[in-house]
Amino acid sequence: MAAAGPGLEELGEPLVSGFLASWQGPGRVPGVRSFGTLLQLLRERGVIAPPAAPPRGACDELLGRYRECLVSQRGLAELTVIRYMATARHFLEQAAGREPAGRFTRRAIRGNGLHL
């Protein structure tokens, strides 16, 4: 008997999102986060692959260097680093003309009067 539907190799957040978008069940629609524990368990058992890492853009590289500086040169605590990183990401997104962080470029920042 042939199995219908996606295979285990396709199981992950994108498939869950698609399933939830077509939800016809009673009551309110659950969120992707409600499936987090199940997906994590399946990953730990080796049933499904870990999620693919998002592509790194110029903003991510710049923030990575900034994080390294905060930790290695300034010796800041992890919670402080997390807070500083969130502030820096927000600033860079605003400075790049409200572009998503993955589409950040030096040219967009320089166009706003900043020089990197």
The helix-helix angle for 78-95 and 58-72 (nearest 10°) equals 150
* DSSP secondary structure letter of residue 5: S
pTM of the model: 0.41
Q: Which residue has the higher pLDDT, 7 or 39?
A: 39
User: Is-contact 67 24, C-beta < 8 A?
Assistant: no
Per-residue pLDDT tens for 35-70? 778 888 888 888 877 777 766 777 888 888 999 999
Per-residue pLDDT tens for 65-94? 999 999 999 999 989 999 999 899 888 877
Q: Where are the domains of the chain?
A: 9-44, 58-110
The predicted structure's pLDDT at residue 102: 46
